[in-house]
Structure 1
Amino acid sequence: MNTPTLKRVVFLLLLTLVTVAFGWVLKPFFGAVFWAVTLALMFDPIYQRILRAVRGRTNLSALITLLICLVIVILPMALVTSTLVAEASALAQRIKGGELNFRLYFQQILSALPHWLLDWLDRLGLSNLQGVLDRVSSGLAQAGQVLASNALAIGQNTFDFLVSFVIMLYLLFFLLRDGRDLSKLVLESAPMERDHTSYLLRKFTTVVRATVKGNVVVAVVQGALGGLAFWVLGIHAAVFWGVVMALLSLLPAVGAALVWVPVAIYLISTDAVLQGVGLIIWGVLAIGLSDNLLRPLLVGKDTKMPDYLVLVSTIGGMSLFGLNGFVIGPTITAMFMAFWALFNRGDDETLEGG
């Protein structure tokens, strides 16, 4: 190996090592960095409009955009979180005190089942319904306590949350102000064809915007519709269950039905037939159709990914990266498709579709 080649190899190894080390340093603040980048991509069009309105004053434009982001996104989330913590705490106390008895609720449902259905369950080998009931109710009680304790952990880890929050806002300001320059730097520095790098950056931006916009809109709509229905029916902790339905709605095809369907069954089995049927109608027509109409329009259309890939990548992303995975999973999948499109097809054909 000649000297120039050796120097190049050593340089690339050191570059890789430093890059990995930099990522390791940022790891404790991954969530703050991730959401700063995501929000910067989401609010960049607003920043550009304000920048033109204030005649190119970048600091002022970034500050105004940051304030808009606070009003539209962060403050409402803080208000909902505070209400969620309060209701989760009250829910945990009711479970602990026995006021909420999942075993009793399931017993009421079983008592309302017709004899032919009970006989059918016996033929399926579920003859020991009491044992099944005890296990299910115990699991639900534990799940409720875990949900409540996790919500309470937000308050217990206030300092860490505030540090990450301040870092996110700090980074968001500079990413808004210097984002275009950073993208140009990536475009010029990446060891790839300029057109390929430009196409991939556009694809990444489009997918992140579409995923966040679509999933967040669907989650907010479904959570609000579900919470409203529970509030009208007089179900305790309507905000808490609305937030749970919003989080579950991040999973396409199943989502909020995991909450409102059991509640509707319970209402029907306890002679509240009108309320139960009304909840089913509301769940199917309002909550369910909002997912079927909004998600393909906001997510699949812009990402150009089929629904089954959106579903699998969302579930896989959330299983690996937690809540952040509802953005990371589809983004990785879309970039996977984009790289293979560049590899398999002609450059001109691929870039025209990008």
Structure 2
Amino acid sequence: MNNELENNSSLEKKVIDLSLKLILILILVAWCAMIILPFITLVLWAVILAITIYPMYKHLLKLLNGKKAFASTAVTIILLCILLIPAILMIGAIVDEAKELKTAFVNKTLVVPPPNPKVAEWPLVGKEIYKAWSSLSTNLESAIVTYHDQILEVGQKIVGAMRSVFSNIMMFTFSIIIAGIFLAYSDESEKSTNAFAKRLVGSKGDEFNKLVIQTIRNVSKGILGVAFIQFVIMGACFMLAGVPLAGLWAILVFLIALIQLPGAIVAIPVIIYIYSVKEPVPATIWAIIILLCGLSDNVLKPLLMGKGAPVPMIVIFLGAIGGFMLSGFIGLFTGAVVLSLGYKLSGIWINYDSPQPTAKKE
């Protein structure tokens, strides 16, 4: 009887001791998570960038005879130039256009071209657009007073978008620098990641690591790559065609492409404007060029996203869209990775007890 009581007392002590240890570990983990939380987006983007550009880093490492510091620094500088130079040019162009617009408005030299009479024939919204456009072209000051609230709302949205763009550029700048540090310690990072994956899923650790890496690279190529290509080519077309605020239209193309909508959505109002200010023949030529650029994602996306994919492309696509709706821009990657891992794990679970095919005896 005494032995039984002693055993129960010893068991209770062990349970209490284990519970206290678990509580302390959970507190420590939660505390660490709260400390790292403000930097989580930066770190995630740095990891995504490091994984995406690792092949380029590896190739450069061979050219530099294995000098990791030089290779990672060179990759970082190249990426910063790719990000910052177009951003500075774009912001400069937008600021210049805004200054010119303000100067023309103050000096009362701002002229809005009259609309084409065919605008009024557009279904549903044609008459309202024609009326507002005509008002702007004939009596700009009166039209601004009439549509003051709408213009103010649009202006606030544009300013908010510009602030968001600037903050994202700053965030990506720091993420690129952190990604360069990750690349410099890529061997150590790979060993740690493999060890962590094996602790989680055992012998399947390497397979899941490859899945995450390939998914991130596919999303980078198929979503970010296509969005950037459309941003560049359509922005160039807008500038060459003489479209006002070409930089803003190009940014809109990039944002729309990120949420997996066709760039043709932006091309349509631009084409309407071109037809209203140019002769039919050059307007038609520009319309065809811009429309083809807007629809180019239908060709580029399957080529880039599906190449070498470890899971069906539809899984990556749905994960990217769902992740974007759930977590914003970074959800393009986290959503695709999580859904791909879930798809792979569900396949392993479904086929876990399935008999393995045996070789036929001859």
Q: TM-score, normalised on structure 1? A: 0.74
The worse-fitting range, judged by mean Cα deviation, of 266-275 and 198-207 is 266-275
**1:296, CA displacement in angstroms?**
1.2
The residue that corresponds to 1:245 in the other structure is 253
Distance in 2 (CA, whole Å) between partners of 1:212 and 1:343 is 29
Aligned residue pairs, count: 332
Give the equivalent residue in structure 2 for 1:147: 158
Which residue of structure 2 aligns with residue 337 of structure 1? 343
Task: For CA contacts below 8 A with separation 6 or more, give which structure has more relative contact order.
Answer: 1
1:258-277 pair list within 5 angstroms: 258-270=265-277, 272-277=279-284
| Alpha-carbon distance change, 7 to 304 in structure 1, aligned in 2, over 3 angstroms | same
- Letter matched to residue 219 of structure 2: T
Residues 283 and 292 (structure 1 numbering): CA distance in 2 closer, same or farther, change over 3 Å?
same
Could you tell me how far apart the structure 2 residues matched to 1:98 and 1:317 are? 44
Q: Give 1:222's aligned amino acid.
A: Q
In 2 relative to 1, CA 255–32 (structure 1 residues): closer, same or farther, beyond 3 Å?
A: same
Measured in 1, the distance between the counterparts of 2:254 and 2:210 equals 29
- Structure 1: gaps spanning 5 or more residues: none
Structure 1 residue 75, shift from structure 2 partner: 1.0
Identity %: 18
**TM-score (normalised: structure 2):** 0.73
- Structure 1 residues 112 and 93, CA gap change in structure 2 (3 angstroms): farther
Question: What is the aligned partner in structure 2 of residue 121 from structure 1?
Answer: 124
Is 1:217 matched up with 2:228?
A: no
1:221 maps to a residue whose letter is I
The structure that has the greater radius of gyration is: 2
> CA, structure 1 residues 314+196, in 2 after alignment: closer, same or farther (shift >3 Å)?
same
Alpha-carbon offset, residue 265 of structure 1: 1.5
In 2, are the aligned partners of 1:89 and 1:152 still within 8 Å (CA)?
no
Deviation string 1:215-246 (CA, Å, 9 cap, x unpaired) is 23212221121012112212234344334323
Deviation sequence 1:22-58 (CA, Å, 0-9, x none): 2322222223211221122123334445556767x6x
List runs of 5+ in structure 2 lacking aligned partners.
1-10, 106-110, 134-142, 357-362
Query: Is the contact made by 2:47 and 2:179 (CA closer than 8 Å) also made in structure 1?
Result: no
Query: Partner letter of residue 276 of structure 1?
Result: A
SS for the counterpart of 2:330 is helix
Q: CA deviation at 1:154?
A: 6.4
Give matches, 1:1-354, under 5 Å. Answer: 10-49=20-59, 60-71=67-78, 73-93=79-99, 108=115, 111-113=117-119, 115=121, 117=122, 121=124, 139=150, 142-143=153-154, 145-151=156-162, 164=174, 168-169=178-179, 171-190=181-200, 192=201, 194-252=202-260, 254-270=261-277, 272-289=279-296, 291-301=297-307, 302=309, 304-307=311-314, 310=316, 312-346=318-352
Contact kept in structure 2, 1:40 and 1:172, CA below 8 Å: yes
Checking the alignment, whether the CA contact within 8 Å between 1:318 and 1:329 is kept in structure 2 is: yes
Measure the CA separation in 1 of the matches of 2:226 and 2:156. Answer: 27
Could you tell me how far apart the structure 2 residues matched to 1:248 and 1:215 are?
11
Secondary structure in 2 matching 1:304: coil
How far apart are the structure 2 equivalents of 1:331 and 1:316? 11
AA paired with 1:247? L
Does the C-alpha gap of structure 1 residues 230 and 155 become closer, same or farther in structure 2, counting only changes over 3 Å? closer
Query: 2:360 aligns to what?
Result: none
Taking structure 1 as reference, are residues 274 and 183 closer, same or farther at Cα in structure 2, changes over 3 Å only? same
CA contact (8 A) 1:83 1:239 kept: no
**Secondary structure class of the residue paired with 1:108:** coil
